[in-house]
Structure 1
Amino acid sequence: MTAAATGPDVRRRRARWPWALLIVVAVIAALLVAAELVARAVLPGIVRSLVVEELKLPADQQLDVEASGVLLPQLISGTLDELQLSSKRVTIGGITGSAQVTATGVPIRGGALGSAKGTVAIDQSQFATLLKNSQLPITGVVLAAPDATVQGELSVLGREIPVGLTVTPGAQDGDLLLTPVSATLGGAEIDLKRLSGMLGGLGAQLAAPQRICIAEHLPSGITLTGLHIEGTSAVADISADGRIATDPALLENGACPR
Structure 2
Amino acid sequence: MSTISPRSRRARWPWVVLVIVLVLAALVVASEFVARAIVPNTVRSLVISNLDLPADQQLDVEVPGVMLPQLISGTLDEVELSSDEVTIGGITGSAHVRATDVPVAGGALGAAEGTVSIDQDEFGSLLAASQLPITRIALAAPNATVEGEVELFGRRIPVGLTVTPGAEQGDLLLTPVSLMLNGMQMDLDAVSGMIGAVGEQVTKPQRICIADRLPAGIALTGLRIEGTRAVADISADGRISIDPALLETGTCPRS
TM-score interval for Structure 1 and Structure 2 normalised by the shorter chain = over 0.9
Once residues 82 and 30 of structure 1 are traced to their aligned partners in structure 2, the CA distance between those partners, rounded to angstroms, is 25
Is 1:85 equivalent to 2:56 in the alignment? no
2:198 aligned partner, one-letter code: L
**Cα displacement string for residues 157-188 of structure 1 (whole angstroms, at most 9, x for unaligned residues):** 23211111100000000000010000001111
Of the three residues 187, 193, 206, the one matched with 1:191 is 187
What does residue 3 of structure 1 align with?
none
Q: Deviations over 1:26-49 (max 9, x none)?
A: 000011011001111111111100
> Mind listing any 5+ residue stretches in structure 2 that lack a counterpart?
none
1:252 to 237, 240, 248: 248
The alpha-carbon deviation at position 257 of structure 1 amounts to 2.0
Q: Deviations over 1:2-29 (max 9, x none)?
A: xxxxx86221111101000000000000
Written as runs of structure 1 = structure 2, the 5 A alignment for 1:86-101 is 86-101=82-97
Q: Unpaired runs of 5+ in structure 1?
A: 1-6
1:127 aligns with 2:108: no
Matched, 1:241 2:237: yes
Per the alignment, in what secondary structure is the counterpart of residue 219 of structure 2? strand
Measure, in 1, the Cα distance between the counterparts of 2:11 and 2:195: 98
Q: How many Å separate the matches in 2 of 1:127 and 1:253? A: 19
- Please state how far the C-alpha of 1:193 moved relative to its aligned partner: 1.0
Out of 99-108 and 10-19, give the one that drifted further. 10-19
Kindly indicate whether the alpha-carbon contact (under 8 Å) linking 2:134 and 2:147 is maintained by their aligned counterparts in 1.
Answer: yes
Which one of 32, 36, 39 corresponds to residue 40 of structure 1? 36
- Structure 2: distance between partners of 1:8 and 1:75: 45
What TM-score do you get using the length of structure 1 for normalisation? 0.95
TM, length-normalised to structure 2: 0.97
What is the CA deviation profile of residues 26-74 of structure 1, one whole-angstrom value per residue up to 9, with x for unaligned ones? Answer: 0000110110011111111111000000000001000000001110011
String of CA shifts for 1:209-235, please: whole Å, max 9, x gaps.
Answer: 111000011111011000000000000
| Equivalent position to 1:144, from 140, 143, 154 | 140
Partner deviation per Cα, 1:93-121 (whole Å, 9 max, x = no partner): 00000000000000011100000000000
Q: CA deviation at 1:204?
A: 2.0
| Counterpart position of 2:217 | 221
For the Cα contact (< 8 Å) 2:108–2:241, is it kept in 1?
A: yes
Corresponding residue of 2:16: 20
In 2: Cα distance, 1:162 partner to 1:9 partner: 103
Match of 1:176 among 161, 172, 184: 172
Greater Cα shift, 185-194 or 219-228: 185-194
Residue 154 of structure 2 corresponds to residue 158 of structure 1: yes
Is contact 2:141–2:225 with CA below 8 Å preserved after alignment?
Answer: yes
CA contact (8 A) 2:150 2:198 kept: no
Counterpart position of 2:56: 60
Aligned-partner Cα distance in 1 for 2:169–2:125: 20
Matched AA of 1:240: A
Report the count of equivalent residues.
252
- The answer to whether the 8 Å contact 2:95/2:116 transfers is yes
Instruction: Find the counterpart in structure 1 of residue 103 from structure 2.
Output: 107
Matched residues in 2 for 1:205 and 1:159: separation?
17
